[in-house]
Chain A
Amino acid sequence: GIQVEQSPPDLILQEGANSTLRCNFSDSVNNLQWFHQNPWGQLINLFYIPSGTKQNGRLSATTVATERYSLLYISSSQTTDSGVYFCALTRAYKYIFGTGTRLKVLA
């Protein structure tokens, strides 16, 4: 089956630091999304990014579909950025989630 692996599995940052999260996938991608799962369990869409680069405030994402990876950049991290970040491929109506990166931002 399709493999979606994320790195690093855990990350601790001091507030204000920058970070890069990586998502590697084993198959071609039609749709790749990044989600943030906050400490209350809510999954929030961050980016729909099957290819190219997008930016939204302090967050940006880049997907290189030909090399089967995507990167999520977080700049000037804040404590509210804490939680788990997932990338997910879609196959028709199914999301196939990665293993997640657990981020903790310290004040």
Chain B
Amino acid sequence: GAGVSQSPRYKVAKRGQDVALRCDPISGHVSLFWYQQALGQGPEFLTYFQNEAQLDKSGLPSDRFFAERPEGSVSTLKIQRTQQEDSAVYLCASSSGQGAGGAFFGQGTRLTVV
């Protein structure tokens, strides 16, 4: 596609529910990133993939968060047993190189946990 596509755009989950957020990067982009943006703040790094390899997951806030990119293209961020503090916008980005420079961001998924 022309840009990074994320789905769903909005998700309301009941506390304790599992959710899965999808990211379709720009075709051919090697690097894929997930960021979490709390209300009124800048995005914060969650995890980084180079092709199918998850090279850094140091930003994932807890073991309830899990990300995968099994074929080196589409990625899924899964959150188990959601809690209210998980409410945020989850942004995906991709880039053609191995670094973050020049990355393109999707519109994000706004997750609200009630």
For chain A, residues 9 to 27, give those with C-beta under 8 angstroms from any C-beta of chain B: none
Could you mark each residue 56-88 of chain B with 1 if its beta carbon is under 8 Å from any beta carbon of chain A, else 0? Answer: 100000000000000000000000000000000
A96-B44 Cα distance, complex, nearest whole Å: 7
The complex places the Cα of A31 from the Cα of B95 at a distance, in Å, of 15
Contact of A93 among B100, B105, B106 (CB under 8 A): B100
Q: Assign chain B's interface to a size class.
A: 20 to 34
List A contacts of B101 (CB < 8 A).
31, 33, 48, 90
Distance between B11 CB and nearest chain A CB, rounded to angstroms? 14
Contact across chains for A92 and B99 when beta carbons are under 8 A apart: yes
Alpha-carbon separation in the docked complex, A98 to B37 (Å): 12
Q: Is the interface of A mostly helix, strand, loop or mixed?
A: strand
Q: Which residues of B contact A4 (CB under 8 A)?
A: 42
Closest chain B residue to A100 by CB distance?
B42
24 CB contacts below 8 A, A to B, read A41-B89, A41-B108, A42-B106, A42-B107, A43-B93, A43-B105, A45-B102, A45-B103, A48-B101, A86-B42, A92-B100, A93-B33, A93-B48, A93-B100, A94-B33, A94-B45, A95-B33, A95-B35, A95-B43, A95-B45, A95-B100, A97-B43, A98-B42, A100-B42
Which residues of B does A touch, CB under 8 Å? 31, 33, 35, 41-45, 48, 50, 55-56, 89, 91, 93, 98-108, 110
